[in-house]
Amino acid sequence: MNLDGANVVVVGMARSGVAAVELLREKGACVRAVDQKPVTIPGIEVLPQTAEAFAGAELIVLSPGVPADVEVVSQARSRGVRVIGDLELASWFFEGEIIGITGSNGKTTTTALTGHILGASAQVGGNIGTPPCSMVANSRAGQWNVLELSSFQLETSETFRAHIGACLNVTPDHLDRHYTLANYADKKARLFTNQRANDFAVLNAEDAICRAFAHRGAGTPVWFSSAQTVAPGACIDGGNVLLNGEVLMPVAEIPLRGMHNVENVMAAAVIARLAGVAHAKIRDCVKTFPGVEHRLEFVREIDGVQWYNDSKATNVDATLKAIDAFEGGLWIILGGKDKNSDYTTLAAPLKQKAHAALLVGAAAAKIANQLNGSIPLEQCGTIEGAVRLAFKRARRGDTVLLAPACASFDQFQSYEHRGREFKHLVKDLPWRN
């Protein structure tokens, strides 16, 4: 793609937007950077997000955090201006094959594990760590580019194609932006639209929406399942994970907690095998995988009480999976910025496994209303307040779990910021005498 001299507007100056500006400049484009808030970035003049900033644009590149239907962008699109996202831009210049991993939950763990297995033959980024546009310079022929992909990145893709695409699951999330589950699922499906006959679609056989993605492109479906036999692909039989009909490893040897993480391991194993990695290396890498920060991350044990950070549980389904990973005795911290979610499905498992829900943030009142007395509720306001109350009330054998079921942006900059604050608070707790 020749962008030399093209007038390009990049919208949104978080990490992905800055990376897009840098890549476009390298390719010779005349770039204007805009943001709806005043931003100071060394070496980049950032203009207000007004109609004037888009005058004369030949191409608009959206950062993932910018909705595709924002008014000034829709007006430009109606004038015939091409609108893409940073993922699409990066894909024009990548060397080597792409592995794309999406899903409502588990994609960060699966992406990190896939990169861990592939080792030096891969670079990892996308929605995790390095923005796609920053990965272009380090891409090379014969290398795998392993990308975690969100619905926000996929919704503005056009020609983007992954040689191996994987969707782990699709459950309601980001409905404040996508409005309906059908719209949200359609964004996930874009991962497979441009696949060719020699490409592969790795799909969860237990998820009806994922199963339907098998018909979205020409890629060959390869399955993983926690409940039925599949081949080719990965499944569970007699306490073992099978990969293409052969034993990969005992489920008990997987170091990550919860059946959802067993599914993540199976997906990563299928991807790695398609990328040419042998069973023995996959097994060894799974056993040495340290896990991912903020995903059911063990923080500390104090006087027999275990504390876990699952700040990445930013939707209800992720919180359900976190609850399922524990036998009971939970003090669960819920709340944050609501994403038009339905919290009623949390009531039954929490009634079975939790002593109480400690509510924080802007969504606390809605969560309390929807849980409707199914378990004791404590209005704590902040993470700090929840940690103090849990420390006072939890007893030996209990678990304190941060699994908020909400976004973090009411009180924190990101789920990482929220998780780090939780860990800092927990690590500062004293031992009881």
Q: What positions carry a catalytic annotation?
A: 107, 127, 174
Could you tell me which residues are beta bridge partners of residue 236?
241
How many other C-beta atoms lie within 10 A of the C-beta of residue 240?
16
Rounded Cα distance between 264 and 187, Å, is: 21
Residue 168 CA to chain centroid, in angstroms? 11
Which 3 state secondary structure label does DSSP give 20? helix
CB neighbours of residue 31 within 10 Å? 22
Q: Strand 30-35 to strand 305-309: parallel, antiparallel, or no bridges (unpaired)? A: unpaired
CB 222 within 8 A of CB 232: yes
Q: Exposed e or buried b for every residue in 5-28, given b needs 16+ CB within 10 A?
A: ebbbbbbbbebbbbbbbbbbeebe
CB-based contacts of 410-415 (< 8 A; 24+ apart in sequence): 410/336, 410/337, 410/361, 410/362, 410/363, 411/336, 411/360, 411/361, 411/362, 411/382, 411/383, 412/336, 415/294, 415/311, 415/312, 415/314
Q: In this structure, what are the phi and psi dihedrals at residue 43, rounded to the nearest 5 degrees?
A: 80, 0
d(CA 225, CA 205): 5
Residue carrying structure tokens 């990563």: 268
Compute CA distances 191 → 4, 149, 422, 429, whole Å.
28, 9, 34, 44
CA 8 vs. chain centroid, Å, equals 28
Q: Which of 354, 299, 291 is nearest to 327 (CA)?
A: 354
CA dihedral 122, 266, 203, 109 (to 10 degrees): -60
